[in-house]
Structure 1
Amino acid sequence: MADVIFFDLDGTLVDHRSAVWEAIGQIAAAAPNAMAPPEELATLWWTLEARHMREYLSGQCSFDEHHRRRLRSFLPMLGEQVPESPGLLDDWIAERYLPVFEESWRCYPDVQPCLEALKRLPDGPRLAVLTNGDPEQQCAKLSRFGLLEYFETVLTPTELGAAKPAAYAGACRRMRTDPARAVNVGDMLESDVTAAAVAGLTGIWLDRGIDFVTGGPSPTADETVLRIERLTDLPAHLSRTNA
């Protein structure tokens, strides 16, 4: 049995993509001067989120600034002027985006049954969350759904000084385990599975049937990839692998 299981958060435990789509869809539908339909604006927001999140993760800007950069590109398409003050951009995020976004968070129904099953395993593994998100926001998601109690720790670039994939080595050190005895479970084939394997961990792909980035069908993986379709398949999968 593995010593530690790391779980990705967005797209694995909580449906981040649907929450973004719901929030921007509502904002766009209520914007009288929007330059494009709500679906196109949601696609634009998602593209900008990916771009500026990469800048945050690489240390080019703060978490708040990555939101501001996104807004500076997005607001003209929403038919609104871009405030010069960073504080006004922060207010827009806090007052117009975050309340709808946070209200739209949904935990996948297979999460708690999986964690309960892992807890019942004799000499079961220790559990941790390994996410590239902001620590305060990610802990708020876990707390909302009563999931924090299952995890020994929540590790983010703030604690580790690096994002995935560079974070895997540091995460194993934090959990006092060898990468060979660690498993990483996530929905992103490249960053959660392939990159984890390169770092010496066992990567397990949670294939929820949708590509987290594009929203299209899941990517194609070769037969060597360890793959599950539901988190509730994980305990039995681990038992078979251990055997």
Structure 2
Amino acid sequence: MSNMASLPVEAVLFDLDGTLIDHDAAAEEAVTTSFLGPVDSPSLERDRVVRRWRELEAWAMDRYLAGELTFCEQRRLRITHLADEFGLGPWSDEQADAWFAQYLTRYEDAWRTYRDVTPALDALTAARQQLRLGVITNGDADQQRRKLKHVGLTSLLQHVTASSEAGAAKPDAKIFLTACSELQLQPSQVVYVGDRLQTDAEAAIAAGLHGIWLDRGDAASVTPVPHIRTLTELAPLFTQLMTVRRSVKRAV
């Protein structure tokens, strides 16, 4: 972070799923109740469904982000594959859409922020009231904005750049530069925080932003990329940065 000392950082942007909102917990709750039913199921079966659902989600979303599928098509692909693999046979588009509508209701009801989100954002705004906060996210813009509204973060995170509107997805530099352009800031004036090392932090750095890796999984990876274990570590890091900046400016 030492190269940030003389730069006027004006904004902090965040990844959404896995950084601010616990997508995995919401998806796990939704798929187990929708696919296995509300009754207790053997833990092994639940684990198999959840694990395979996450794999199918990553695979289908990659194809959507690459432009190979529409958002609706990637949803259908996920559940039709899951149903077939667990012995429920081929499903029509109508069956897939009906199931996914039920899944979405449960998924949206389960949207929650991580416990460290509100304290971290409050600390950032307390440290610098004029700091602009926002989100850069891969996915459908309407759904991602609904998430922010559902968890009560819309007023605080007013700037949202979503891949469906930007025409590019992380780790493509274009989506990061689009966010900076919309803020009318240079990339060197923006800090970006995300839970994926390559897709978020390293990609942001490659685009000229100041990337920070949120290592929620305690991966203990050796990396030169600035990283934190919890969002509550972000405000002290940012305060330290601003203190160094003021010292440099006085010395000049």
Query: Structures share a fold, TM > 0.5?
Result: yes
Question: Runs of 5+ in structure 2 lacking a partner?
Answer: 1-7, 245-252
2:161 aligned with 1:155: yes
Partner residue, 1:176: 184
**TM-score normalised by length of structure 2:** 0.85
Report deviation, 1:108: 0.7
Asked whether the 8 Å contact 1:31–1:79 carries over to 2, the reply is no
Asked whether the 8 Å contact 2:111–2:151 carries over to 1, the reply is no
Task: Provide the rounded CA distance (Å) in 1 between the counterparts of 2:18 and 2:235.
Answer: 19
Q: Map 1:60-99 to 2 at 5 A.
A: 60-84=68-92, 86-95=93-102, 97-99=103-105
Partner residue, 1:213: none
Q: Map 1:1-243 to 2 at 5 A.
A: 1-30=8-37, 37-84=45-92, 86-95=93-102, 97-122=103-128, 124-166=130-172, 167-208=175-216, 210=217, 218=219, 220-222=221-223, 224-242=224-242, 243=244
Task: Provide the rounded CA distance (Å) in 1 between the counterparts of 2:56 and 2:142.
Answer: 21
**TM-score normalised by length of structure 1:** 0.88
Show CA shifts across 1:192-211 (max 9, x none). 11111111110011111x2x
Task: Provide the rounded CA distance (Å) in 2 between the counterparts of 1:181 and 1:171.
Answer: 12
Give % identity.
37
Report deviation, 1:186: 0.8
Cα gap change, 1:12 to 1:31, in 2 (>3 Å): closer
Computed over aligned residues only, the root mean square deviation of the Cα atoms, in angstroms, reads 2.0
Between 115-124 and 165-174, report the one with greater CA deviation. 115-124
Q: Which runs of 4+ in 1 moved over 3 A?
A: none
Task: Provide the rounded CA distance (Å) in 2 between the counterparts of 1:39 and 1:51.
Answer: 18
Q: How many residues align?
A: 231
- Could you tell me which amino acid in structure 1 is paired with residue 221 of structure 2? T
- Could you tell me which amino acid in structure 1 is paired with residue 240 of structure 2? R
Asked whether the 8 Å contact 1:13–1:111 carries over to 2, the reply is yes
User: Computing the radius of gyration over CA atoms, which structure comes out larger, 1 or 2?
Assistant: 2
Asked whether the 8 Å contact 1:28–1:37 carries over to 2, the reply is no
- Could you tell me which amino acid in structure 1 is paired with residue 153 of structure 2? L
